[in-house]
Structure formats: structure tokens, C-alpha cells
Chains A and B, each alone.
Chain A
Amino acid sequence: MREFTDLRVRKPADPAEFERMILTAKEMGYRHLGVVFNGDRVTNENSLGMDIISRVELSPTSPGDLLSSLRRVRDRFEVVAVDCSSKAVARQAAKDHRIDILMFPSDLSERKVVGLDEQEATLAAGIGCSFEISAVELMRASSARMAKLIARLKKETAAARRHDIPIIVSSGAASTIELREPRALSAILDLLDVEEEAALDMVSMNPLNVVERNREKLKPDHTEPGVRRL
């Protein structure tokens, strides 16, 4: 049985709305929810039975900025995503094994310059980081923009799959109304020509692999992958 994970949810300012989001996600069949850190850390204590994953999104302006941010956050969060605003940042991010997820600008003119091209995919495949697609970006787009975004995402998805880069699909929701059930998220990938089974892996197995790998690394007895202190 699949364990569904929405790895990107933004916590709204209203605590009651956040509680509603968790309950709705639970009702939809999610077992794990990645909550983006915005200065207010969410823990598993008040999570209404949902497994909450701590996630941070870095928006560095330069490769140096990325390295210093990584030193600060890597051992504090279960998932580290990088919003690559320039090619230099994207290349650095795709070489650093401390990064779990690569994100690219939603602005189409920027996306033409910085995206998951062949070179970026080759680098990212070497360190095992994932490529993420946020459904909310597609849902909010106007017809003309959506058509261009789908074309861009199709190319990037194909590049990721050619290089065996795990693809993660998340809602990117900031409110209950933006949440979508796991099968709906995977169905959206029909627009990107992704087959049903592979699309379901992108909301279950792929995000969960990232979380489990990092939780293992964050344990105090962890030394290296596959090595444990007894």
C-alpha cells in the first residue's frame, strides 16, 4: 500500500486554517506532510496524527551564499530545497550532496535561462537530488502561461527521467483550498505525458525516500550511509 506524501505545504498565518489543512490532507489519504519553515517551526507534537516533515527553502543569490546557508540549516531540517535563481546557483546546487530538492523560478522568462537542462540534470544525477514540480504553479496560471509552463515542464521532466533523477510532485498549497488529493496530483502529470504508475511514485515513493534517507542521516548514531555506531 502506498504512503502518500505532500512534501510542500506552506503554513498559513491562521493556526485554525493550518489545522484544517492537516485534517483535510489526512482525509485525502496523506500520511506525511512537508511544511515549509517560515520562522515558525512545526513539530510532530500538535500534528493531529499526521507525520510532519520539516522543510526549508533556500533562495541564495550566489553560490557562496548557498554554501553558507547550507552550513546553517542542513542539520536542523529534514528536507532542504533550493530555489535556483541563477545558473551559477543552480550549478552549485546540483553539485552539493547536502541538497535534496532543486526548484526553479516560476517566472517563465527566468525559467528559460535557469531550468533543468541536460548539463544540470547530469550534475544532479551524480548527487541524487530530486526535481520538484508544484501543482499550484500550474493551477494558478492563465491559459497562455499554462501552455508555456507545460511545454517547459515537459522538457524538464523528460530530462530528469533520462538521467534517473527522482521527480517529486507536491501541491505547494498555502491554504486548504489549494490542497489536492494524491491521485489528483498524479493525474495532473498526464499533462506532462507521465504514465500513471510513475506519477503515483512521484507522490509516494520518491518523496518518502528523500525523507527516510535524511531522517537516517539526522540520527545521532549515524556516521555514513550504511554505517552505524553501535
Chain B
Amino acid sequence: MPVRGIRRRYIEFRVDADTKFAGEEIFEAIHSKVLELYGVKGASAASLSMISYDEDKGVIRCSHESLRRTRATLAMTSIISDSSAAIRVDRVSGTIKGLRLKTAKHELGDIY
């Protein structure tokens, strides 16, 4: 059975700030922070990419091995486009489907 070369992690996050940001602004802030903390080599190993962003919630993808570094990067991102902000991780999964299931379960848990 073929095995995918790079294992990935999908991180669902929420932005806590007084202002609204565009997805590009958030990704730019995260990317600058990963470069600042881990350099070009670390950023390349993390292979970050923004999967989705809407309102104040989004999903970012990183390599499985860089999950902890990505969490640290998100935690250390306190400025986005010159405004104070915090990026909070809600849940992490190995697949987008798994992430959606976890989110749905969590939301159902809130209702019942």
C-alpha cells in the first residue's frame, strides 16, 4: 500500500483580537514569526500553508514533525498587522475530515 511521503497535521485555530484580519495578514504574521524563531530551515521543514480562514477561525497545515514548533509559533504570534492579537489552537488532527469530525463532536457536545 502506498504511503504518503510527509505526514501532516491540520490545526484549527481562532484569532482573538479587537480588529478583523484577512487570512493573508494572519499567514504573513505566522510565517514571519516562524522565520524569526526557527529560521529558513525551520520554516521549510514546517511547510506551513493556510487551508482556510473565515471570520476569526481558520485551519493551517504543517508537517507532523513540526507540530510543536508550529504551536510555539502560533503562541508567540502576538502582533498581526501592527495590532495586538492572540492565536489560539482549538484542535489538531491528521486529516481535514478528522478535524471536521472533532469540531462537529465538540459543537454537538455544546448543544447536548
Could you tell me if B68 and A185 are in contact, using CB atoms closer than 8 angstroms?
Answer: no
CB-CB under 8 A from A178, the residues of chain B are: 78, 86
B57 adjacent to chain A (CB < 8 Å): no
CB-CB under 8 A from A196, the residues of chain B are: 68
A-B pairs with CB below 8 Å: how many? 50
Could you tell me if A184 and B16 are in contact, using CB atoms closer than 8 angstroms?
Answer: no
C-alpha gap A125/B91 in the complex (Å): 38
B64 adjacent to chain A (CB < 8 Å): no
Question: What is the size, in residues, of chain A's interface with B at 8 Å between Cβ atoms?
Answer: 22
Could you tell me if B68 and A135 are in contact, using CB atoms closer than 8 angstroms?
Answer: no
CB-CB under 8 A from A180, the residues of chain B are: 75, 86, 88
CB-CB under 8 A from B37, the residues of chain A are: 191
Question: What is the size, in residues, of chain B's interface with A at 8 Å between Cβ atoms?
Answer: 17
Could you tell me if A28 and B88 are in contact, using CB atoms closer than 8 angstroms?
Answer: yes
B45 adjacent to chain A (CB < 8 Å): no
Residues of A within 8 A of B (CB): 24, 28, 135, 138-140, 143, 146, 176-181, 183-185, 187-188, 190-191, 196
Q: A180-B88, A183-B89, A188-B72 are in contact. List 20 more A-B contacts (CB 8 A).
A: A138-B76, A139-B76, A176-B86, A177-B17, A177-B85, A178-B78, A178-B86, A181-B75, A181-B88, A184-B74, A184-B88, A185-B75, A187-B69, A187-B71, A187-B75, A188-B76, A190-B68, A190-B69, A191-B37, A196-B68
C-alpha gap A140/B36 in the complex (Å): 14
B84 adjacent to chain A (CB < 8 Å): yes
C-alpha gap A135/B77 in the complex (Å): 12
